[in-house]
Each structure stands twice: as C-alpha cells, then as structure tokens.
Structure 1
Amino acid sequence: MKVNQLNIKKDMSVSELIEQFDNSGVLGAGRVARASNLLVNMINDEDMDIFMSLAGPMVPGGLRNIVAGLIREKRIKVLITSGANITHDLLEAFGGKHYRDLGDNDEELNDAGIGRIADVYTRSDDFEVFESEIIKIFKTISNKLDNNGDNGIISIQRLLKEVGLLIDDENSILKLAAENDVFIFAPGLIDSMFGLQLWMFTQDNKLIVDAVGDMHYLSDLVFESEKIGAIMLGGGLPKHYTLASNLLKGGIDAGIQITMDRPETGSLSGAPLQEAKSWSKAKQGSNLETVIGDVTIIFPLILADALNRIDD
C-alpha cells in the first residue's frame, strides 16, 4: 500500500484532517489516525467500559471541560488521576482560575504570589480560597462519618465522591463524576495540595483515608466489565494503576496511550503499550496504540474526530 501525500485545504474539518492522516498512514500522523479509529471503536462497543487515566497538568493545561464532558455523557466508567488534577479541578470549582501570559521570571512571579506550570499560572489568592473551602468540606464529611458509625475511616474513591457531592460547579469533574456514577481513583492523592490540606485537617480531626480500600471498588469494576478499554493521557502512577488493576483479569482489551516520554530509560511512562502484554496487563490480541506527542494537542484532535463518527 502506497503512502498518500497529505492534502490540506481551506475550511477542512478535523475529521477530514484525520482522514488525511489515515491515508498517509505513516509516522506520527498515522499513529494519530489509528488512535482516533480505535477510540471510535471503543466508544461504539456497548460491551466495553472505558477507563481513563490522567497524569501531568491536564486540568491546568485546558482539558477540564473535555474530561467533564466525557463524564457527563457517560463515555467513561472510571477516571484514575493524580492528586494535582483533583486539586486544580477544585481550584476552579471554588472560583479560582488558571492564567497565561504572565511572564517567566520566576523570582518576580514568586514575589507576586504566582506559581508557574510551564506556560500556565496560578495565584496564591486562589489557593487560599481552595484551602479554606476544602477544610469546610472535610469537616462535613468527617461529621457524616461519625454520624454513620464509620469510625472516621473512608477510602480515597469514596472521599472524592463525597467531595463531589458537596461542590456547586456544574463543570467540575468531581461533581459530575459523583452525579453520574463515574468512579474516580487517585492513588497518589496525598502528593498534592489536596493531600497537604487533608493531612493538616487530620491533626485535629478524625478522618482516616484507607488507600487499600479502593481496591475493593476497583477489582469489582474490573470483574463486572465484559471488556475494558483504556485511554491513558500521560504516564506515571495513573497509567500503571489503570493497567495493573486489569492484571486481575488478564489485561485490558484495547488501549490508547498519548505520552511525551521515551522508552529507552525503561520507565513505565515511556513504555509502548505493547510491552504491557508481557505482564498480562494487556491481553494477547488486544488493540493498542501509542502516540508520542503533547496530550493537550493530540487528544482534543482525536476526540473531536471520534465524536463526529460514533454511532450516537
């Protein structure tokens, strides 16, 4: 089969562009097209539950509404993410914002109460509001646990659901997940501003987070699902938690990974998905696609194309 040269025209749609990528079928463009085709198949498969993992600053990087939309439309069953993305979702839910174009002199930014994440910025004033509001929510949850006789013990997944039920923001990932029975897991939750505030709250209040308790929920979800597809945006702990949980049943049935990391160091973040088959984290014969590139560019492209082509 020959390589077709790309033809770009004025006013072409995203799907027309991805079709050009598919016809070329090589290098990064071909990988993007194959990932988009696989995403269409995953969404169209009524027997497949989709697990999504988020690593890196996906909420500060502009993907909050995309993830919220997937939850609202019940495209995904499980979200596995970092504590940082949880924190930044709540930052916006409490009225804070993420900013751009504030410069790159980090000492001056620090003096002005501004934190930088590459080209994204946050203000310390917004974090002060976050800290105040999340402590109020922790207090409400702690009182509820006492009244229910739970002895102050709660799993991470249940804690995040309870937080989501107390948020007044229709675009919040946590709120939408709580309302639409989408399960959120954050195995590295303590390594975040959310975790820091949680630790501070527990110094004077009874609230015990049971991380192992999450495996009861997660293993049930894995075994209840006829098939599982995974969308892994970035690598790290969320990617591994997604794959390792499916080890219980021989691995995922399909998966898409978008990452900027390289495989040469042996890191999980840069490992091609095919490698997961050697660990039974992906099934033999599973359909897998790894795309090397910036998640904030590639995932919106393939999702926009996929939504144009699904069977709704």
Structure 2
Amino acid sequence: MNVNHMNITQGMGVAELIEEMGRSGVLGAGRVHRATKLLRGMIDDPEMAIFMSVAGPLVPGGMRRIIRDLIDDGTISALITSGANLTHDLLEAFGGAHYRDYGFDDEKLHQEGIGRIGDVYTRSEDFEVFESEIQEIFSCIFSAKPHISIQELIHEIGGHLDDDMSIIRTAHLRGVPIYAPGIIDSMLGLQLWMYTQDNRICLDAVKDMHSLSDLVFSHERIGAIILGGGLPKHYTLASTLLRGGVDAAVQITMDRSETGSLSGAPLEEAKSWAKAQAGSNLVTVVGDATALFPVILAGALSELQGEVGD
C-alpha cells in the first residue's frame, strides 16, 4: 500500500483533516489518525469504562474545560491526575487565572510575584486566595471526617465550590471519582501539611484502591486516555493489573523510551506486566498533549456525530 500525500483544502473540517492524515497513514499523521479512530470506538462502546490519566500542566495549559466537559457528558468514568492539576483547577475556582505574555526574565518575575510554567504564568495573590479558601474548606471537611481517603477528600472539596467550570465540582456533581495518588507533591499537598500543624487527620491512600478496584471490576472493558506519564499513568494502568490490563488505550507523551522510564514507555510494554491485555488496541502518539489531544478528540466527536465515516 502506498503512502498517499495529504490534500489540505480551504474550509476543511478537523475530521476531514484527520482523514487526510489517515490517507498518508505513517509517522505522526498516521498515529493521530489511528488514535482518533480508537478514541471514537472507546467512547462509542457502552460496555467500556474510560479512565483518564492527566500529568503535566494541562489545566494551566488551557485544557481545564476539555477535561471538565468529558466528566460532565459522561465520557470518562474516573480521572487520575496530579495534585498540581487539582491545585490549578482550584486556583481558578477561587477566582484566579492563568496568564501569558509576561516574558522569560525569571528573576524579575519572582520579584513581581509571578511564577512561570513554560510560557504560562501565575500570580502570587491568586495563590494567597487559594491558600485561604482551601484552609476553610479543610476545616469544614475534616471537622466532620478526620479519617478520609484521597478520593473522598477531593469529592468533598467539590461540594464546597460554586464554579461551574471546575473539574473538581463537576466530578462531585456527576459522581465521577478523581484519584490523585501523588497529592502531597503539590501546593494542595502543602496546604494539607499546613493544616496538620494544628489538627490531626488521617488521609488514607490505601482506601482509594478499594473503590478503584470496584470500578475496574464492575465494567466489561476498560479503556484509558493517558496524557503525559508519571504517577497518574502508572496508577491508571496498574489499577487494571488483577484483570489482566486495559483493553484499549491512547497515550500522548513527549517522553522517550530509551531510558526505560514509564513516562516514555510504549503502551505495548504494558502487556509484559499484564497492565494491557493481549490483543488490546493501543496507540501512542508522540507530542504535546495540549496540541494533539484537542485535535484527536474533536475528530472522534465529529465522527460520532456522523460528519465523517470509516
């Protein structure tokens, strides 16, 4: 079969663009096309629960609403993320924002109370509001439930928010669990530590495994959307170990495989650990998730709406 050269025309839609990538069928274009087809099939499978793994600065990087909408419309059954993404969701829920176009003079930024994440910026005054608000929420939650799992804590936090665009609030309202096994490694975790200076609590990480395991075994098939790597990726895949792994997964990562790191490992490697089923449908796309996932998702949704067929 020949590699066909892509034909880009004026006014073409995203689904048509992805079809042209599929006509080429190789390298990154081919991977984006295959990932789109797989994601479409995952979303369209009523017997499949989709776990979404989110690592890296995706909330400050402009993907907050995308993740929130996937929860709101029932596409994903669980979110596994870093504490940092939860922190940044809360930052905006409390009235803060993420900014751009401040430049790269980091010493000057520090003097002006601005923190930098690549070319995304935060203001110290927004974090001051975050700290004050989250401490009040902690007081309400822990006074009633001093022994609580991480997932339960995040769920309870959602009940104290009134921002309709919040990931945490939307998950609370829709009953979608959020797991953050590395929550302590974040500003949210730092605020938990600050709270324990005057209060005794038990944040039970092991308890999360009970509810996550119940979720895994209550569905016929498990799919995964893995954006970035690290702890959220491993927690997502390892949660399916006792059932022989995921049935399908799309991974978007910038990391390389040569060092043996989990973040850069091809999904096929998970088969050797029974974290992906034999015969599972797996696609890895190398690139920036903030650029690629919106395109892949838009293509999959367009196909589901009948814009472009197989």
TM-score range for the pair, normalised by the shorter chain length: over 0.9
2:135, 2:303 → 1: CA distance?
44
Aligned pair 1:213/2:207, yes or no? yes
Amino acid at match of 2:85: N
Aligned pair 1:238/2:232, yes or no? yes
TM superposition shift of 1:160: 0.2
Pairs within 5 Å for 1:191-206: 191-206=185-200
Aligned pair 1:303/2:283, yes or no? no
2:132, 2:287 → 1: CA distance?
37
TM superposition shift of 1:309: 1.4
2:206, 2:81 → 1: CA distance?
16
The residue aligned with 1:42 is 42
The residue aligned with 1:149 is none
1:90, 1:252 → 2: CA distance?
31
1:187, 1:61 → 2: CA distance?
21
The residue aligned with 2:245 is 251
2:202, 2:264 → 1: CA distance?
34
1:161, 1:207 → 2: CA distance?
17
Amino acid at match of 2:50: I
Pairs within 5 Å for 1:6-85: 6-85=6-85
1:23, 1:50 → 2: CA distance?
28
2:74, 2:199 → 1: CA distance?
36
SS in 2 for 1:254: strand
The residue aligned with 2:128 is 128
TM superposition shift of 1:218: 0.6
2:203, 2:130 → 1: CA distance?
20
1:172, 1:307 → 2: CA distance?
22
| Superposed CA offset, 1:287-307 (max 9, x none) | 000000000000000001111
Q: 1:180 is matched with which residue: 174, 185, 199?
A: 174
Amino acid at match of 1:124: S
Structure 1: segments with no counterpart, 5+ residues: 146-151
TM superposition shift of 1:311: 5.8
SS in 2 for 1:121: strand
Aligned pair 1:156/2:153, yes or no? no
The residue aligned with 2:281 is 287
SS in 1 for 2:51: strand
Give TM-score, length-normalised by structure 2: 0.98
SS in 2 for 1:213: helix
| Superposed CA offset, 1:94-126 (max 9, x none) | 000000000100000000000000000000000
The residue aligned with 2:221 is 227
2:175, 2:48 → 1: CA distance?
16
SS in 1 for 2:52: strand
Amino acid at match of 2:100: R
Structure 2: segments with no counterpart, 5+ residues: none
Contact 1:44–1:311 (Cα < 8 Å) also in 2? no
The residue aligned with 2:90 is 90
2:129, 2:116 → 1: CA distance?
18
1:251, 1:266 → 2: CA distance?
20
TM superposition shift of 1:206: 2.8
TM superposition shift of 1:202: 1.2
Contact 1:202–1:208 (Cα < 8 Å) also in 2? no
| Superposed CA offset, 1:258-289 (max 9, x none) | 00000000000000000000100000000000
Amino acid at match of 1:298: L
2:167, 2:10 → 1: CA distance?
36
Aligned residues: 306
1:76, 1:70 → 2: CA distance?
6
2:176, 2:225 → 1: CA distance?
15
2:205, 2:118 → 1: CA distance?
31
SS in 1 for 2:249: strand
The residue aligned with 2:264 is 270
Aligned pair 1:117/2:117, yes or no? yes
2:94, 2:200 → 1: CA distance?
24
Of residues 201-210 and 228-237 in structure 1, the stretch that sits farther from structure 2 once superposed is 201-210
Amino acid at match of 1:157: Q
